[in-house]
Structure 1
Amino acid sequence: MDRDWSRVARLTADELPSLTSESEQVATEFIRVSRRQSRLIVPDPHGHKASLRALRIVLAWLGAEAPVQERDLRTLATLDPNISGQRVIWFLAERGLLEPDPALRIDRDALTAEEIINQFPVPMRDELRSWTKVLRGEGRRKHPPLTSHRILVYLRIVRPVLEEWAKRTETLKSITTKEFKNVLAARKPGTARAVHHALRSLFQGLKQERAIFRDPTRGVTLPGVVTLPASVPSDRLAGLMGRARTPLHRLLLALVTIHALTPTQAARIHLDDVDLTRGQLIVRHRYHRRTVYLDPLTVELLTDWLRERQHTWPTSGNPHLLVTSQTALDIAQPPVSGGLLQHVFEKIGIPARTLWQDRVLHEAQLTGDPVHLMRLFGIAAETAMKYIRAAHPEKTGRTTTR
């Protein structure tokens, strides 16, 4: 059973039991480590005080003779904004004084996907589980599995449509082609294409698993809309690096604007993927890896960030290159969230996707070779040709005669 910490969380420092000598040593060591790590990317004195309060509560109440339950610390943190458990969890885990909670090591995206599925009627719920089983590569026919995050993206795309249908039916077996077309017609072209792709995957998966008799999406197509990328005006790019405020931000900006990495790819880079001696790093794609050869500026920015990372979190066990005050001390060792990385570019004023496109388009203008783009940026042939067409319309333009 979980402990009820609601009353204890309200106690002041004077009202708590006195610490034992062993507990006092642990608290003193935590203060010493916190002071050493006080120079954060974003200074957070409140976080240190809140963490120390969490540690004092559990040590005063439970002592340091046995490992502290991770669940107790996380429960405490939900009861009072002046209590924070993340740094304490990392500190205790480093010293073998933490009992991890296995339930917290589960896949968050998979848990969120299950919550979405559970909101629908039972028959539709079972059909959605059959679909996600196919997406994980566990269906009747073997397919390359999708990540939990990608499956969650699909569910979020189809969720509004399924909520509409669930108002009048409990199963997807009753959905007709006309209803599917009406869904597409009611949406803007960009949204309609995403819904079209996701619903086709849903019904094709159910047909494969023999959960439905016919596929209402079969034969339904959308007119092709090709949007060619455009260059970013030079005045928007001027002084771009000066807008980045920290070593982390400057390195991320260089990886996107010079080497055309997406923020998600940058977040997945491990420390072991970096070779400063050779000026190289490994970028992890979905099915392969590629080597990126760094220019002198990026090497300099990477060195600055590694120095900053080591100084701020010298004992961090997170294997990822990019970390923050939250992920560096998280025993689950997660990568930096995509939302945080996108926020960096929001502050700069240009979306990461726009900068990525500008870099690839610039390379396409210089070379005109789609194979070169595929090798340099790890993109698909179709994507490479799109940028070649945008950069050299005179070479790839087509004319039709009536």
Structure 2
Amino acid sequence: MPQSKPGRHYNIPAWLRARHPEPVQDDPRICPPQIPGQLGLFPTPARQFSRTHAARISDRNIPGFEAVREQLRQMADERRVRARTVWIWRLEGFARLALAARDPDQHQVAAEALKDLLYNGPILGRALERAALLAPPLTRRVVPPRGTGPTRQGGQRDPELRGQCAHCLAWANDRRVLCVPCTSWCYELRKRGASEAECDRCHRTLMLSGGMCRMCRIVVAETEVDTAQVAMENGDQLWFARPHAAGLAVGRLLPGTAALQGRFALKRRRARARAEGARRLSEHLLHADQLELFPAPPRDWTRLDTTRPPALTPAAAHLLTDFTTYMRERGWNTDFFSGSIRTLRIVTGHLGTDAPIQERDIRALASMSPSLQGARVLNYSRLRGLLETQPTGDPSIARARHHASTISQPAFSAAVHTYIDVLLGQGSTPSRARSPKTVENYVAALLDTLEAWITDGHTDPREITKKHIEDALDPLRGDRARRLHTALRSLFRALKREHLVFRDPARSISLTTSRSVPPALPSDRIAGLLDRLDDPRDTPMVALVAIYALLPGQLVHLLRTDLDHSKGRLRLRRAGRMDHLIYLDAFTMRLATAWELHRHHRWPDSSNPHLFVTRNTAVDDSGPPISAGVVQHLFQRIGLPAGRLHVDRIVDEARHSADPVRLMELFGLSNLSATRYVLSAHPDKKNGPIAP
């Protein structure tokens, strides 16, 4: 062999090692083998193993060692350990020591023995646990250390309490009056200014925290989560050498008494895991192949204990995991949307995932508590095809129906219901449906007049004549007269078409009113309008109103496909009329492009088709538009109503051009509205060729 040099290591070839085998390394002085099944006479002393001890029993045949070695190899692969061979070799030695140090009557390694393995105890404990060779930790009361403690009042020691703490009754095997923890307890409370008082549980006069002494808090905390299955119902610690306390409230458990960290937190986690494993599948799981015999009433979720849902089926567990992944991919913080996860957990736990989930079940469950949320659960279920939607009614139509039902005369009430059907396009003759808000406004405008006719003794709409309508319109002026006149003409026209009246009494009634266009806004209120905004969404909205005179309702329903970047134009969709094309200038196009880039950066996977979104509508897969309140709130912040700004832009253009055709092309106005704006801007042209 070559001569060894300092600082260098030579590997011995395998063929040479085979000719000169090393002696068997099994030192009987290191963890000597014992007779299996023999009980230990003395407790195991404190010790500390090292690599040298492991090398001296490297050839010993130890039961269970191969199982631990296999788990160490799997853990090395799972953790992608770089120095795999050295890592396994080092831990195998300590695994031999842990298995060799077992008591003769124990098959598993005690959890308390892991502290003897230096810093390798936690990872070896994991390997032993995976190999089913780690015993659960024992629950023991720690004995306070020996020493001298404070005396009782008057400096006299109680002979009945020798070796026992006077407060927590812990045995210390010495002549202490108070153990170290109770001494620290009293010191901290006195430092905060507390004084002795009667305990609410044991009725002793001691230092209290939360109305209980230290011993009572320990007992309550220990029995709050009983993972070791050792707590007795209505039981307590024995009071040796003292009279029994008959007044103990032993059946009283106060949740939250135990500390939030430390061993009590570990006990809570183990209790939750044990309760999760003991749960059973729900008895109400839905099956896709089961036919519905009759329509079932809505489920009453208030009768269920939503705090402990049943166990999940494999499909439901996979769905819950996919829902969490879906939320993370959307960029949402799952800590703030735990209510959505809890809602899906409860619904799928009780009903399963084989059959579609009804939308009303999710909404009913989410309405039970503020900690339950259903909006994102509905979107996700709809996206995965697991939602059975329910027909949704428009709130405006619901209010209009309610108004019609409150009319005291049945004939008038039935006529108004028929009128609502006609406005919605559901009459005997097909017609274009009006918007729900228009239907509500028409019905609300009619209520007072109909009730007045009923008070006068009329019982049927066929009794109403032209004179009745004129009398109703006579005391009204302005917008109130115009709204009632429009609603009455619409009502009797619909009733005549449905053959509920013989003639239309409102057909020949005209209302002469003067509509004055509001004056232009002062220039100082409009100057610097866009400079007050810092949101990329607000600037294009204000620009479209101030430059192109769009209305808030038109901004709400703009789609992303309506904006053509290549041609620089915006398509304005109008129900029942031709679309209006708006050619945008370079400034407005820059604002719209900046908003599109900001939206894509903040919500890259948003599927909402509308041009303007909020943080709620952007992540809603149903694609709802923003509410009109968002636009109104924007113009309230800048101090200019959107309607006034809309009129001011048209008046300003009419003042410069005086051409109604140009107003019709720019703003999509009707010929009558365009003429009215021109005449308002140029009063001298009222008798000219454009006069109506």
Q: State the TM bucket, normalised to the shorter chain.
A: 0.7 to 0.9
TM-score (norm 2): 0.51
Structure 1 residue 196 displacement after superposition: 1.1
Structure 1 residue 199 displacement after superposition: 0.8
1:383 aligns with 2:684: no
Identity %: 36
- The answer to whether the Cα contact below 8 Å between 2:363 and 2:374 also exists between their aligned partners in 1 is yes
Q: 2:405 aligns with which of 108, 112, 118?
A: 118
Residues 278-317 of structure 1: CA deviation (Å, up to 9, x unaligned): 2222101231102111122322222232233334444443
Partner in structure 2 of residue 310 of structure 1: 600
Structure 1 residue 86 displacement after superposition: 1.3
Q: 1:103 aligns with which of 391, 414, 419?
A: 391
1:204 aligns with 2:493: yes
Mapped partners of 2:640, 2:364: distance in 1: 39
Mapped partners of 1:311, 1:63: distance in 2: 37
Partner in structure 1 of residue 629 of structure 2: 339
Mapped partners of 2:348, 2:429: distance in 1: 54
Q: Secondary structure at the match of 1:116?
A: helix
Q: Secondary structure at the match of 1:203?
A: helix
Q: 1:358 aligns with which of 642, 648, 655?
A: 648
Partner in structure 1 of residue 266 of structure 2: none
Mapped partners of 2:551, 2:657: distance in 1: 22
- The answer to whether the Cα contact below 8 Å between 1:158 and 1:198 also exists between their aligned partners in 2 is yes
Residues 343-389 of structure 1: CA deviation (Å, up to 9, x unaligned): 32223221111111111112112222110110111110111111111
Whichever residue aligns with residue 686 of structure 2, its letter is T
Whichever residue aligns with residue 349 of structure 1, its letter is G
Q: 1:241 aligns with which of 530, 550, 561?
A: 530
Mapped partners of 1:207, 1:18: distance in 2: 62
Choose 354-363 or 293-302, whichever is displaced more: 293-302
Q: 1:213 to 1:46 in 2, by over 3 A?
A: farther
Q: 2:306 aligns with which of 2, 6, 11?
A: 11
Whichever residue aligns with residue 300 of structure 2, its letter is D
Residues 51-107 of structure 1: CA deviation (Å, up to 9, x unaligned): 3332232233334444332221111222223322111111222222x2232423x55
- The answer to whether the Cα contact below 8 Å between 2:376 and 2:620 also exists between their aligned partners in 1 is yes
Mapped partners of 1:323, 1:164: distance in 2: 45
Q: 1:186 to 1:332 in 2, by over 3 A?
A: farther
Structure with more contact order per residue of length (Cα contacts < 8 Å, sep ≥ 6): 1
Mapped partners of 1:301, 1:150: distance in 2: 33
Mapped partners of 1:24, 1:50: distance in 2: 17
- The answer to whether the Cα contact below 8 Å between 2:404 and 2:417 also exists between their aligned partners in 1 is yes
Mapped partners of 1:74, 1:241: distance in 2: 41
Mapped partners of 2:416, 2:353: distance in 1: 47
Partner in structure 2 of residue 152 of structure 1: 440
Mapped partners of 1:158, 1:276: distance in 2: 46
1:263 aligns with 2:263: no
Whichever residue aligns with residue 446 of structure 2, its letter is V
Q: Secondary structure at the match of 1:79?
A: coil
- The answer to whether the Cα contact below 8 Å between 2:552 and 2:632 also exists between their aligned partners in 1 is yes
Structure 1 residue 185 displacement after superposition: 3.6
Q: 1:81 aligns with which of 348, 370, 373?
A: 370
Q: 1:125 to 1:361 in 2, by over 3 A?
A: same
Residues 79-136 of structure 1: CA deviation (Å, up to 9, x unaligned): 223322111111222222x2232423x5554444333333334322332244344445
Whichever residue aligns with residue 338 of structure 1, its letter is A
Structure 1 residue 209 displacement after superposition: 3.4
- The answer to whether the Cα contact below 8 Å between 1:37 and 1:312 also exists between their aligned partners in 2 is no
Q: 1:57 to 1:240 in 2, by over 3 A?
A: farther
- The answer to whether the Cα contact below 8 Å between 1:203 and 1:215 also exists between their aligned partners in 2 is yes
Q: 1:141 to 1:16 in 2, by over 3 A?
A: closer
Mapped partners of 1:47, 1:382: distance in 2: 54
The structure number with the bigger radius of gyration is 2
Partner in structure 2 of residue 396 of structure 1: 686
Q: 1:212 to 1:236 in 2, by over 3 A?
A: same
Q: Secondary structure at the match of 1:180?
A: helix
Mapped partners of 1:266, 1:240: distance in 2: 18
- The answer to whether the Cα contact below 8 Å between 1:229 and 1:387 also exists between their aligned partners in 2 is no
Q: 1:320 aligns with which of 577, 595, 610?
A: 610
Mapped partners of 1:109, 1:18: distance in 2: 42
Q: How does 1:227-306 map to 2 (within 5 A)?
A: 227-286=516-575, 287-306=577-596
Q: Secondary structure at the match of 1:374?
A: helix
Mapped partners of 1:357, 1:3: distance in 2: 52
TM-score (norm 1): 0.84
Q: 1:131 to 1:228 in 2, by over 3 A?
A: same
- The answer to whether the Cα contact below 8 Å between 1:133 and 1:139 also exists between their aligned partners in 2 is yes
- The answer to whether the Cα contact below 8 Å between 1:89 and 1:330 also exists between their aligned partners in 2 is no
Partner in structure 2 of residue 34 of structure 1: 327
Choose 250-259 or 234-243, whichever is displaced more: 234-243
Mapped partners of 1:21, 1:278: distance in 2: 53
Mapped partners of 1:143, 1:189: distance in 2: 30
Q: 1:87 to 1:127 in 2, by over 3 A?
A: same
Q: How does 1:150-229 map to 2 (within 5 A)?
A: 150-167=438-455, 168-229=457-518
Q: 1:222 to 1:333 in 2, by over 3 A?
A: same
Q: How does 1:366-377 map to 2 (within 5 A)?
A: 366-377=656-667
- The answer to whether the Cα contact below 8 Å between 2:608 and 2:624 also exists between their aligned partners in 1 is yes
- The answer to whether the Cα contact below 8 Å between 1:279 and 1:294 also exists between their aligned partners in 2 is yes
Structure 1 residue 143 displacement after superposition: 5.7
Mapped partners of 2:585, 2:377: distance in 1: 39
Mapped partners of 2:349, 2:484: distance in 1: 54
Whichever residue aligns with residue 150 of structure 1, its letter is T
